[in-house]
Structure formats: structure tokens, C-alpha cells
Amino acid sequence: MPRETFQQELDGLISDLLQLGGEVKASLENTVRAMEGRDAGAAERELGIDLRFKAQGMEIERECMILQARQAPVARDLRLLYTVQSVTNHLVRSGTLTEHICQAIAETADCERDEDLETALVEMARTARNVFDEGLDVFEDRDIERARDLQAKDDKVDLLYSEAMNLIANASDGGGGDPEWRMRAALIVHYLERISDHGVDIGGSTVFLVTGERIDDAMQQYLNRDMGEA
């Protein structure tokens, strides 16, 4: 097949992207475990990792730009470069949010906590992690069938968001934990919701990569197809 060098460069680019994805995923997993085990030390170990994600992201974007300048990509190659840039952005941002969560956990280690709220946070963290991991899997396997399930899973995250916010706003009598912790909990809830959204968007970018359709249009087609079968 012609353009072997170009193909190798594209393969290298995807491998760099998956490397970054794997590292962000690991950091998010560590964060969820730190939340589950109230492990401030584990959270602290994640601090600073964001800089590495950003450097990797910039390198991938640089590679994309050089390939565009030198190879004049069109059609599926063009869609791939576009998608790689978009997914890179989602990964780097998810990495940053993960670090923000760890910072909040580390800095509130000594605060008194509300048990119901903490349980809700942990459940939300697990669900958001699942959506993120699955978005990454969809991209890695180009499995666009699964991309449409992501939205439903993200709806669960949104539901947990409302529940957690409700607990923060309406603390139980005599409970609720330190105000400092409740404030940081509100931020964590927000960060988790964003991470889950990035996971959904990575799936959506994959739909564009494979079909050339914008995610909303493609989703609509899938949904209509199901209705047609019913």
C-alpha cells in the first residue's frame, strides 16, 4: 500500500494518543480509589501529573499540525487528525480535572465529613470513571455501537450530580461536615460531571471519525433505526 511512511506516522500518532489516554485513565482510577479509601496520601501523589498530560497533549497537537502541513490529508486521514486533536483536548482537560479533585481531597483530609454526601460522591466518581473509560474504549476499538450507550450512562451521572448537590444544599440536622469540605465537595461534583462529559464527547468524536457524520446527526440516525426496528 502506498503512503507507508504517512500511515506509520498516523499509527504513531494514535499510539501517542492512547498512551496519554491510558495515563489519564490510571490517574482517574487512583483518584476514585483515594476517594473510596479516604486516602489523602494517594490523592497527593497525583498532584503535578497534570503538567505531564499537558506536555503530551501539546506534542500530539504539534505532530498533527506537521502532518497536515506535510501530507495534505483528506477524507478519513483528515477526519482522523481532526478527531485526534479533539480527543487530545478531552483527555488533557479530564486529566486536569482529576488533579483538581485530588487537590480537594488532599486539602480537606482533616475535615469532618457527611457520610451520605461522601457515599454519593464515591458513587458519582465510579460512574463518571466508567463513562470516561468507556469513551476511551469506544475510540480505541472504533466501536461506535457503544458510543450511543454513553449518553444514557452520562444521564446517571447527571442524576447523581443533582442528588449530591441536594445533600450539599440541605445538610441533615447537626451533620453535613465542615463547611470547607462541603464547598470542596460541590466542586468535586462539578469536576466529575465534566469528566463524564469528556468521556461522552470522546465517543462522539469516534462516531465522526468512523462515519463522517456529526455526532448529533449520527445519533439521531441510530435512534431512528432502533425505532424502525421496534
Partner 1 sequence: MEVEGLNMYYGSFKALSDVSIKIAENKVTALIGPSGCGKSTFIRSLNRMHEIVPGARVEGIVTLDGEDIYTRDVDPVRVRRRVGMVFQKPNPFPTMSIYDNVIAGLKLGRRRKKSELDGVVEKTLKQAALWDEVKNKLNDSGTSLSGGQQQRLCIARTLAMEPEVILMDEPASSLDPVSTQKIEDTMDQLKEDYTVVIVTHNMQQAARISDYTGFFFIEDMGEPGRLWEFDETEKMFSNPERKETEDYVTGRFG
Least Å distance, CB 212 to partner 1, is 3
Judged by CB under 8 A, does residue 62 bind partner 1?
no
Measure the CA–CA gap between 203 and 146, rounded to whole angstroms: 8
CB distance 61 to 81 below 8 Å = no
Please tell me whether residue 73 binds partner 1 under the rule CB under 8 A.
yes
Cβ distance to partner 1 smaller for residue 2 or 174: 2
Contact flags string 152-191 toward partner 1, x per CB under 8 A: ----------------------------------------
Find the shortest distance in angstroms from Cβ 73 to partner 1. Answer: 7
Rounded least distance, CB 21 to partner 1, Å: 25
Task: Give me the least distance between CB of 5 and partner 1, in Å please.
Answer: 11
Minimum CB distance to partner 1, residue 225 (Å): 18
The cell numbers describing 209, all together, are 471519525
Among candidates 9, 29, 12, 7, which has minimal Cα distance to 136? Answer: 29
What are the Cα distances from residue 86, in Å, to 13, 39, 61, 138?
Answer: 13, 33, 10, 14
**76 makes contact with partner 1 (CB under 8 A):** yes
Q: Which is nearer to partner 1, 7 or 221 (CB)?
A: 7
Burial of 126 (0-12, 13-18, 19+ CB in 10 A): middle
Q: Tell me whether residue 151 or residue 211 sits nearer to partner 1 (CB atom).
A: 211
Say if residues 91 and 16 touch (Cβ distance below 8 Å).
no
Binds partner 1 (CB under 8 A): choice among 77, 107, 123, 133: 77
Restricting to residues 210-229, name those near partner 1 by CB under 8 A. Answer: 211-213
Q: Whole-angstrom Cα distance, residue 12 to residue 9?
A: 5
Assigned C-alpha cell, 173: 440536622
Our finding on whether 9 is near partner 1 (CB under 8 A) is no
2 lines the binding site for partner 1 (CB under 8 A): yes
DSSP 21-70: HHHHHHHHHHHHHHHHTT-HHHHHHTTTHHHHHHHHHHHHHHHHHHHHHH
Closest residue by Cα to residue 97 from 53, 139, 33: 53
Instruction: State the nearest-atom distance from the C-beta of 227 to partner 1, in Å.
Output: 25
Residue ranges in contact with partner 1 by CB under 8 A: 1-3, 6-7, 72-79, 211-213
